[in-house]
Amino acid sequence: MSSKVLAFINFKGGVGKTATVVNIGATLAKLHEKKVLIVDLDPQSNSSIWLMRPDRWREHVSKGRRSTFQIFDDALHGKARFDFDETVVKGVVTWTGFTDLPRLHLLPAAVELLRVEDRIHELRAPVVYQILDSALGLHFKEYDYVLLDCPPNLYSTTKTAIFSADGCVVPYVPDYLSLSGLMVLAEQIGEMREKFAPYLPPRRKPNIAAVIVSHYRQAGNVFRLAVNELELSLSQLQATGLLPDRAVLLQPYIRHCVRVAESTSEHLPVILYAPGSIGAQDYCDLTQRFVDLFESKK
């Protein structure tokens, strides 16, 4: 199977984007024996801090050198200082000091990524949108899955990820504000695709491939009704051509789970922290659907 490069995006924060990236990535590595690379592009560095303890992370990315910031800084200065082998973090260190999930690799982020948007306008659009491909394209081929954890916006860093990806995955909390944001996101990706199609590799057409519902609560009708609205909106977007017919709402929905929240402070994916929890079970089931979807595509 060729590598699948997927951008996890939503310009609304608090939708479970990082939790989705970390836990799908960990489950792919542990249960499906896939080689997975998580690329953290968010200055908040949540995926990085989740999978690395804060002191180790701070030491590793000191001054931004061994982080994804260096990729963009190199592009801005015409340098080639980014070193993949020095930057990549392999596996997850557990409480005992044992390294688990050896197939799960991470390119960590650094807060210096905040500087990128101030200067990236100095580069012309085609160059901007090819930054990740140019720096990481050959390395992507070494993995079964590459998961790009994007900032909660549609600025240049996120656009770069979208244009480097085979498809976009949208983590989603079922409420009205998320619904309106999804429609805007689909429109923006459509406009970007049309405007910059000449600069894309052959056959790559960025689009939303899947929507994942997180923080789902079964009590009452609020979330069920919101998911019904989401399904209707997805059908409408497909009818207007803003979404491809093959775009899907993946199930199961990820239920609200305290164990998932706790796992962040333990710097472990939930499948390692609380493998018997409903969160771990939901991510296991969802990851199977994830594999079924992306490995059935030609």
Q: What is the mean pLDDT of residues 259-271?
A: 95
Domains and CATH numbers, the chain: 4-295 (3.40.50.300)
Q: What separation, in Å, do the N-terminal and C-terminal C-alpha atoms of the chain show?
A: 10
- The fraction of the chain above a pLDDT of 90, given in percent, is 63
pLDDT in tens, 36-54: 999 999 999 999 999 998 9
More confident call, 102 vs 229? 102
Angle CA(41)–CA(47)–CA(50) in degrees, nearest 5? 155
DSSP state of 201: P
Q: Where are the alpha helices (DSSP H) in 141-257?
A: 156-164, 176-196, 222-239
Q: At what angle do helices 69-77 and 131-140 cross, to 10 degrees?
A: 130
Instruction: State the average pLDDT over residues 51-68.
Output: 94
The identity of residue 126, as a single letter, is P
Say how far apart CA 73 and CA 78 lie, in whole Å: 8
- Whole-prediction pTM: 0.95
Where is pLDDT greater, at 30 or 172? 30
pLDDT band at residue 75, thresholds of 50, 70 and 90?
A: very high
Q: Is 35 helix (H, G, I), strand (E, B) or coil?
A: coil
Structure tokens at 5: 């490069």
pLDDT in the model for residue 297: 60
pLDDT digits (tens, 9 = 90+) for 172-226: 887 766 777 888 889 988 888 888 777 777 667 789 999 999 888 776 677 788 8
Q: Structure tokens of 269? A: 């994916």
Contact between residue 158 and residue 41 where contact means Cβ atoms under 8 Å apart: yes
Give the pLDDT confidence of 273-291 residue by residue, as tens digits: 999 999 999 999 999 999 9
Q: What number is the average pLDDT over the span 250-259?
A: 92
As to burial, measured by CB atoms within 10 angstroms (0-12 exposed, 13-18 middle, 19+ buried), residue 169 is buried
Residue carrying the six token digits 């996890």:
8
The order of strands in the sheet holding 89-93 is 89-93, 99-107, 36-40, 145-149, 4-8, 167-172, 208-213, 248-250
Q: Is 298's pLDDT higher than 60?
A: no
